[in-house]
């Protein structure tokens, strides 16, 4: 699976973001390219973990506080887009807000998939605040060995 970086991240980068960008652009970890840099815990974009086994890729997004109905997952032209939008909370006129340290934000992340991913076998599951996508790999059908006779 290959990821393509979309230039929609804020212009201001932290020192860690700069170091990560230098290493990513210098050829390290070319197998995976992320679309966005995560700037803080569930700031603009939820953090993601990606693992690979011989049969599939596993993509885990940390998105607490949502329900499975809030997610929209779309695959178009090898681009996997994961988004979520939670309806705004209704405000009670009789209550005065004293402090607000968190809110539920909408997000949208896109990843470009390579030819190894079997689009018909993508599965998604949401549990304990983590959206888990299982991207099955296509079976490699190799031609049988053939002996070539020299004439």
Write the pLDDT tens digit of every residue in 130-146: 999 999 998 875 666 77
Lowest mean pLDDT among 17-31, 71-85, 105-119, 127-141: 17-31
Query: For residue 13, what pLDDT is reported?
Result: 55
Whole-prediction pTM value? Answer: 0.61
Asked if 98 contacts 76 with a C-beta cutoff of 8 angstroms, the reply is no
The DSSP result for 51-105, as a single string, is: EE-SSEEEEEEE-TT--GGGEEEEEETTEEEEEE--PPPPPPTT-----------
Name which residue leads in pLDDT, 67 or 24. Answer: 67
pLDDT in tens, 11-52: 455 656 655 655 555 443 434 444 443 333 455 688 999 999
DSSP reduced 3-state for 18: helix
DSSP state of 150: P
Name which residue leads in pLDDT, 145 or 58. Answer: 58
Query: For residue 30, what pLDDT is reported?
Result: 39
């Amino acid at each position: 699976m290959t990821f393509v970086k979309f230039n929609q991240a804020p212009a201001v980068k932290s020192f860690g973001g700069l170091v990560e960008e230098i290493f990513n652009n210098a050829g390290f970890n070319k197998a995976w390219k992320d679309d966005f840099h995560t700037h803080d815990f569930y700031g603009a974009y939820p953090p993601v973990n990606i693992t690979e086994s011989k049969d599939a890729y596993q993509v885990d997004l940390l998105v607490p506080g949502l329900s499975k109905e809030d997610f929209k997952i779309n695959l178009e032209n090898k681009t996997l887009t994961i988004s979520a939008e939670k309806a705004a909370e209704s405000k009670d006129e009789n209550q005065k807000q004293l402090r607000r340290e968190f809110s539920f934000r909408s997000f949208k992340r896109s990843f470009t998939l390579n030819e190894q991913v079997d689009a018909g076998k993508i599965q998604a599951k949401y549990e304990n605040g983590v959206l888990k996508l299982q991207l099955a790999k296509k079976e490699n059908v190799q031609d049988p060995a053939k002996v070539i006779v020299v004439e």
